[in-house]
Structure 1
């Protein structure tokens, strides 16, 4: 019987070789084949390729490199300036006052700068703004060198810098749409935003090292920042000018109103911008409190700030790069909610951190959350907006930095009254609450069922006539 059953067993085995794979939902085990392993590797490679897809465009690589170099100088300034202000004033309010000018200019000039970005050459705007910033850095370095620097001059400097940043920020992001195909705009903006996190890890360390250097100091640091910007300005002429958008050549105020109403009439954009505004206003000013936290709580000189906060930049770069491929996928909203809560959690944990050593992983969490939150939010805002509105919509993403300066003044004064760590707890918990509420609303919103350009045409039809009537000169 055993001999007679042997051919049947062999026949059954041969038949099993030719059976189709088990249908989905059936029980059983399937042995992974070489083909499935190859497909898995191809999927991994495709995912990695999707994350860095915009780097396949040569002009984008150059734009990314020049942007990173320029922001290296900016990151050094954001480390050196609070330290200089704290040394001059000796309290958190002095730091907040010195940093306030930056955001005030962003808030009032940013929207108009976005409207101009849509109608002028992007390269020309960037060159002019960076030239002015380089001159500003050189003047601050000279005032420090001759011993005439004061907190009020730092405030004037940041006010001027904020006005320049109001043009460079929207121009750099909107410039991406001029040098990459339309399908890569979201990926390009995400990679550009992630690239800005790399200077956040290196810039603070360089700034602190320059402050310690015996023959450089704060004045030499500002001269080096100016030199870096000069190099990027010369290199910018290798880039194309950047074509202006096809927008009506009317009043800038009218174009600004059109951009604001366009963003307001799209619910998803409205929630994204509100989240960016409120989370940045509550959690963002933590940077103003860090010099006082080091000196008043940990007993460490404030000029060590960059040497302690370097993990923040590492987390920003690594995590920000990881989420670049999430833009435009179904996971984007969920990751955005998680990372905004991570930012608030990190700020709140600073309020219970016992020493500078424990502070290292906490600032890594802050950098990771802030980078991923800002990268995803900004990329989704631009991806979901029409190309001709990119400059104006991008300018709206910089308004939170202006509001952050106003709230930073308040948080700085409260920190001088109740202590740095208590204020950090309040800031972090507020950011978490805002993230949970607005993030849940965004998760429950449906994806628009109409094309973006159709929505734009409807907005323009409803808006252009009343705005034109208001702007028309009265007889």
Structure 2
């Protein structure tokens, strides 16, 4: 393994930022799995309840994130992240004591609200702490944190539930956010000269003009625009079945403890994928090709899981765990190139607004997907939803690849003087 992937960690500011992200991501994954287990296994609710949780998690990113991002670009990023984590701790306490689904959804929404501020501030801080030449490695490390916590979070969560009770992971989530705050407190002051200039100028500018700058930048930057569209459609497909995956897991024979292994396998595959992409960075020359190719192969795996849950293909659990690992491996082929395009195609002073606008576009597609997935599941069953999602995933990848090939062929013809 080339040491290049870890070069950004030599910078003290990025090292502190990365440490904070690791423990923040750990808390988020403890949270996500625990909420599903509470709703399905503890309260005995159905797919509609899971869909409502997923929808409420994403709602703040659409309703609040894009508007608040203007202030994220104006204000010190370190302060925003620390305050966001402090409020997260308060809202996790609320989740712990939630007596029913409705109260739980309230605190899920509040926690999502501060998360929609934390993430664009973190994205901006990456640009402020590493030089341009280390952006691929920094983005890969950031995604590596998310993917690694997909393994550690569910695994720890399952162990904690077995040893200390169903809500115990929420206590450890609070501890994780506290450690993340400590890392940020140790973070050296980062240079935000452009931020102070922007803040002074913004007093003379209209709020809405600043807000629209993020959307206009996306619209005018073709590579960024295309990557966001692909990512948004891919996320819609994922969230079409994501809330149903726990029910698919039940059909495949996984219980509340072993289901954590299935989720962890996806995370392990993502980690291995991130490490491979960190070693081989030629993908940055053709990120869209890489994203669409990964989509085609992922679709085949999703169909296989759906067919398996119908009982047509019967395999031991470890085979499905291997399949989940491969699915995670391919997921890195979509998420990491997208993260690099977002960072490399956006000016530092607009990072908060652009990343938040991009997240809002993606989240909007994610919000409607769980409800549609739940409705389809009631009509035809969760297994057929998985198969349907796999078919769409393949079609997405093939359409993008065909579009690229057609455009390339047209360009070549024009260059040879055979057209126009």
Answer whether TM exceeds 0.5 for this pair: yes
State which drifts further: 436-445 or 373-382.
Answer: 436-445
> Is contact 2:19-2:183 (8 Å) kept?
no
Deviation at 1:445, TM superposition (A): 6.5
TM-score (ref. length: structure 2): 0.87
Deviation at 1:303, TM superposition (A): 4.6
> Is contact 2:306-2:385 (8 Å) kept?
yes
Number of the residue aligned with 1:109: 64
Alignment partners' CA distance in 1, 2:72 and 2:325: 34
TM-score (ref. length: structure 1): 0.77
> Is contact 2:17-2:183 (8 Å) kept?
no
Number of the residue aligned with 1:388: 349
1:405 to 330, 349, 367: 367
Is 1:234 the counterpart of 2:182 in the alignment?
yes
State the Cα RMSD in Å.
Answer: 2.2
Distance change in 2, residues 1:302/1:405 (3 Å): farther
Number of the residue aligned with 1:127: 82
What are the equivalent positions in structure 2 for 1:457-468 lying under 5 Å apart?
none
Number of the residue aligned with 1:22: none
Alignment partners' CA distance in 2, 1:238 and 1:333: 37
Q: Deviations over 1:347-372 (max 9, x none)?
A: 22220223533321121122112223
Is 1:425 the counterpart of 2:387 in the alignment?
yes
Alignment partners' CA distance in 1, 2:5 and 2:252: 40
Q: Deviations over 1:97-154 (max 9, x none)?
A: 12211111112222223322221111111111111111111222133xxxx2x12222
1:361 to 319, 322, 346: 322
Is 1:172 the counterpart of 2:126 in the alignment?
no
Q: In terms of Rg, which structure is larger? A: 1
Number of the residue aligned with 1:473: none
Distance change in 2, residues 1:365/1:406 (3 Å): same
Number of the residue aligned with 2:260: 306
The runs of at least 4 aligned residues of structure 1 exceeding 6 Å deviation read 443-446
Number of the residue aligned with 2:305: 350
1:321 to 269, 272, 275: 275
The structure with more helix, counted as a fraction of residues: 2
SS of 1:196's partner is: helix
State which drifts further: 93-102 or 409-418.
Answer: 409-418
> Is contact 1:118-1:391 (8 Å) kept?
yes
SS of 1:302's partner is: coil
The unaligned stretches of length 5 or more in structure 2 are 309-313, 409-420
Aligned residue-pair number: 392
SS of 1:351's partner is: helix
Alignment partners' CA distance in 2, 1:237 and 1:152: 35
Alignment partners' CA distance in 2, 1:129 and 1:169: 10
> Is contact 2:239-2:369 (8 Å) kept?
no
> Is contact 1:263-1:269 (8 Å) kept?
yes
2:54 to 79, 95, 99: 99
Alignment partners' CA distance in 2, 1:443 and 1:83: 45
SS of 2:188's partner is: coil
